[in-house]
Each structure stands twice: as structure tokens, then as C-alpha cells.
Amino acid sequence: MLPLRLLPEDMVIDATKLVQLWVAEGFIAQAAGFTREETAEQHLEKLANRSILQVVIRDPMGRVDKCRIYDLLLDLAKHEGRKNQFLDVHGDPTSTHAVRSRRLAVHEDASVCFSSSSCLAPNLRSLLFFNLDGQWFGDSLLNLCSLKLLRVIDIEGAPIDMVPKEIGGMVRLTYLGLRNTRLASLPSSIENLGRLQTLDIRVVFEITLPQGVWRIRTLRHLQAHRAQPQASSCGTLTELQTLQYAVAGEWVQAGLRKLSSLRKLTIVGVSAHVKPLSEAIQRLKRLNFFELKGSSVPNVLGLDLTGHAGLHELILDGTTRKVVGLAPGNLPQNVTAINLKGWRLEQDPLAQLGALPYLGDLILSSGVFLGDEMVCPAAGFPRLRELIIYNLAGLRRLRLSEGAMGSLVSFTVGRCPRLESLPEGMEGMRSLEGLSLEYMPEAFVEKGRGWS
């Protein structure tokens, strides 16, 4: 249950992060036919079924997306962990400053405990920080670099602007979480972390990655805003499953197709390289999440994705001045979530996407449709649970045909100033639990107040 035991009370944690931490700690054995991450997701589901953890949100595929542990079980787990010197929580009323456990979570007052590494157990394996709020001392990360047995460091939100070169000596690190820090670069010594599996550097500012990052063959998950992969090293990244926020460039033609283990891919700045991008995507048959952003995204819309049976989430954010078309016949039938932005479609996307049998979440926003009316076809969207329509300036009418959206749970409409009314028949939907009207004219909001 680590790191569930290390969480602050009532804290909601992202299931993807939890899974990556489990794998990085070595808690998940390899099972035939599954990645370690897939096996960890199965364990997570079992914990939910046994009411050990509470599922806060499920994703469109029904998997655990965000969760938390029940307080009573959390207290018991912390007690047992301290007794066995397996874990400790700094900031908990029953904890001490002298840490001797192999795994430590810091909930508050980090500066008192970590101004020196001498207060930490030399055999410390995992170090997780929560709610830092500007507490960090400038040399604290340098002090931690002396803990050579550390496998996991997560300092999300720490106000640090540099990582010391000494981190390259922490050769046992498998997980390095630097999300929401103020870093602008990483030292070249990061290349020495030959066991690193997860590197999360979704930081406040644009970051420059040393080319050595792309030579870490053990990488499984890399999340870095505006990363520029090294094409010559892509062939060695045989375990890379997650690559998010990489900038499109020459590497797309020479390297993307070599990342054959990718499950989750986000590419931004798509303004060229359309043909090699399309060809590479055809080869990445294991994708289950695919996101593109950029001015040339509409040029990839004709790409045939029907062979990607495992592709469940699709986000296409294209800024274009041209009117483009949608080819729903090229989408995988198993897709469960679609997010379309800025396409400038002439044809009604509701009419085109309504036949997708498993679509559960649909977002249409930012001028994706140029027309003034959208109509959901009869019996369309049989499994749609959430619909968001946002920032469609020309939209005047929404219509539901008979039997459409019979499973809809949540409907959000916002910044559609010309929309005349909510669609007839929606107010009688038994499945509908939530209606959200955001930045809409007062007259429109008044009409929606009568809904129960």
C-alpha cells in the first residue's frame, strides 16, 4: 500500500503517479503478458474493491483515476509502518525528527528536518514531500544527494530553481519527481542515473534537458514541457511508455517510430513534419492515449487509426485558419474519450461522432465548429457520460434526437453567447446528475434554474 500510507489525511492522489511509484519501488513483479504498470493497476482495482482505498474519480475506461485512503486505515498503516521501521511521516503528531525508517513522507516543516542529511536514516529508500509552500532551504537538495541508497525522491511544488550536479551520484534513483518546481535546466550528470524509470519535470518555466537524458535506457515515463528528444537515442529507449509534451522536430522523422513501447504520447508545436508524424503513429500500435497540439494538427486528421484497438483517449488541439473536415470512420471504435479544440469544422461533430459505441467523454471547444446548430442523432452516443461544449461563438441551437445520450451524467456548456436554450428533452433524462452553465448570458442561466 505504499505510498498510500504516506499520504496526508484526505489527500487525493493521481492513480498514474501511484502506479509509477509502486513500480519504481520494485513492489510490482513482472507478469506474463502485462507491463508492471498494468499489473499495478490491477492491484489498485483490488484495493478499491476491498474498500481499502476510496475511488474519487474513474477515467472514461472505468479505471481508477484519482483515489485516497480511508482515514482509519491510514492511521493503522502508519502505526504498523513505524513499528517495523518501514516508514515514517514527518509532520504527523506521533512522528519524531530523528528518522530511522526506510521510507519517509514530509507533510510540513521540511526546513527543520532537512537542513542536514544527518537527521535521516542512511538507509533511506524513499522520500516524498507534500504541501511544501516555500519551506525549502536552498542547499537542502544538495544535502539529500549524500543519501546514496535513495530510490525515490518526489519534491513536487518545491521552490527550487536548480538541481546540483551531485545528483548524478545517486545511481540507485528510479523515480525523480520535480513537478511544479522553478527549474530551467537539469545538470548533465543526470545521465549517470542508469536505473531511472520515471522523470517528471512538468515545471513552471520552459526547461532545457541535457541530451544525456535520452541515453537513460531504463526510462519508462518522461514528462517534460517542450522536451526535444534525441533521434539517435530513440532506438535504445525500448521501455519508454510515456512521452508527454515533447516538441515536434526532426526527431519525429528519425526517432518516433522507434519508440515501440509507447502507451501515452503528447506532441506539441506541430507545425510541420506532418507526413513522418502520420507514418510513425501508424507503427505505434500500443498507444492508449494520444494528444497533438499545433497549427498543423488538422492535416493529420485523415490519419487512419482504426488499427489502434487500444487507443482510448484522443486529444487534438489544432489552431488553423482553414476549414477542415473530420473523418470519424478513421477513429478506433474502442475510443472512450475525445477532446477536440480549434478545428473550424463545417460539419456537425455530434452528428459525425454519435455512432462511436464506447465514447464516454466528449469535449468540443475553442471554435471547433463553425455552424450554428448541432444535432445528436437518434440513439447516438449510447455510453456518453460527460459532455462539455465550450467557447463556440456561433452556436445557436442544440438538438437531441430520440434515444440520444441515454447514459449522460454530466453536461457543461460555457462561453456560447448565442446559444438560445438547452436542448429539449435533456431535462427529463433520468441519468443526468449535473448541469453546469459557465459564463453564459443571464437569460440562458435563468432557463436552466428550473432543472432538477
- What tens-digit pLDDT sequence spans the chain (452 residues)? 555 667 777 889 999 999 999 999 999 998 999 999 999 999 999 999 988 889 999 988 889 999 988 765 555 555 454 555 555 666 554 555 455 678 888 876 666 555 555 567 778 899 888 876 655 555 677 778 888 999 999 988 888 888 999 999 999 999 999 999 888 899 999 999 999 999 999 988 888 899 999 999 999 999 998 888 988 889 899 999 999 999 998 999 889 999 999 999 999 988 877 888 888 998 999 999 999 988 777 666 667 788 899 999 999 888 766 666 677 788 889 999 999 998 888 889 999 999 999 999 999 999 899 999 999 999 999 999 999 999 999 999 999 998 999 999 999 999 999 999 999 778 778 899 999 999 999 989 988 776 65
CA triplet 311, 314, 316: central angle to 5 degrees? Answer: 145
Cα distances (Å, whole numbers) of residue 443 to 147, 241, 373, 422, 451: 62, 48, 19, 12, 14
**CATH fold for domain 4-71:** Arc Repressor Mutant, subunit A (1.10.10)
Q: Distance between CA 125 and CA 443 in Å, rounded?
A: 59
Q: How many CA atoms lie within 13 A of 352 on its CB side?
A: 16
Q: Are the CB atoms for 269 and 247 separated by under 8 Å?
A: yes
**pLDDT score for 186:** 94
Q: Are the CB atoms for 285 and 270 separated by under 8 Å?
A: no
Q: Distance between CA 229 and CA 267 in Å, rounded?
A: 11
Question: Using the 8-state DSSP alphabet, how is residue 441 labeled?
Answer: -
**pLDDT score for 88:** 64
Q: Distance between CA 127 and CA 113 in Å, rounded?
A: 12
Task: Give domain limits for the chain.
Answer: 4-71, 336-452
The secondary structure of 35-72 as a DSSP string is -HHHHHHHHHHHHHHTTSEEEEEE-TTS-EEEEEE-HH
Q: Distance between CA 431 and CA 405 in Å, rounded?
A: 9
Question: In sequence order, what are the beta bridge partners of 324?
Answer: 345
Q: Distance between CA 237 and CA 332 in Å, rounded?
A: 27
Question: In sequence order, what are the beta bridge partners of 16?
Answer: none
The sign one gets for the Cα dihedral 131, 137, 141, 147 is: negative
Q: Are the CB atoms for 367 and 393 separated by under 8 Å?
A: yes
The secondary structure of 90-118 as a DSSP string is ETBTT--SS--SSEEEE-S-HHHHHSSGG
Torsion of CA 37, 41, 43, 49, to 10 degrees: 180
Q: Distance between CA 137 and CA 360 in Å, rounded?
A: 46
**pLDDT score for 225:** 86
User: Is-cis flag, bond preceding 3, omega within 30?
Assistant: yes
Residue of 301, 289, 377 whose CA lies nearest to 336: 289
Whole-model pTM: value is 0.90
What residue type is assigned to position 141 of the chain?
L
